Amino acid sequence: MKAPCKIWRTSETRAIDAALDAGIHPEQIGRDLAARLGRTVESVATVARVRRRARLPPGAKMGRRWTRSELRRLDAALATETGTTRQIAARIAPRMDRTVCAVRQRLDERRARFRPRPRRQHWTEAEVEEVLRLRREGATWQQIADRMGRPVDSVRRAKDAKRRT
């Protein structure tokens, strides 16, 4: 049978609040205050997390800021590590003392920001003529795009560009 829950006394929550005010992380508060308060480390840390979250304005993000060195490590990981973002995050999160979720989210942001944009390929006259010929023969835009190795929208624009000239 589970032990009954003990109600948190004001003096206990004040001690947790004082530690939060001092900038101590909730997990550390749990380790530091558990014995003194007669509580488990997990319960003190949980109350500290809840009280810290309650102090934030609505919509505020929790956690600590990313340092430049951490961002450089993420960029290096993107350049050298193989696998999905989730796999990379699972490997490097423990070394960075970050959660897998936080690392994965930041990796996704970095990957999107620094992904090189593909260079535009200009259409040659012969390619435009091929598009028009295939279209006259009844091919769909998707079929033409697949055959030419180009995106569908690009194929449609090539046809339009020919009309303008």
C-alpha to C-alpha distance for 14 and 22, rounded to whole angstroms: 12
Q: How far is CA 2 from CA 5, 6, 92, in A?
A: 9, 12, 38
CB-based burial label for 104 (10 Å; 0-12, 13-18, 19+): buried
Q: Return the pLDDT at 89.
A: 87
Q: Return the pLDDT at 30.
A: 93
Nearest to 121 by CA among 145, 140, 142: 145
Q: Return the pLDDT at 162.
A: 60
C-alpha to C-alpha distance for 152 and 139, rounded to whole angstroms: 12
Model confidence pLDDT, tens digit, residues 41-94: 998 998 998 888 777 666 555 667 889 999 999 988 888 888 888 888 889 888
pTM: 0.38
Token readout for 102 is 């936080």
- Ranges of each domain in the chain: 10-55, 68-114, 125-164
The residues near 113 (Cβ < 8 Å, ≥ 6 apart) are none
Residue 116 phi, psi dihedral angles, 5° rounding? -65, 135
Identify residue 28 by its one-letter amino acid code. Answer: Q
Q: How far is C-alpha 104 from the chain's CA centre?
A: 5
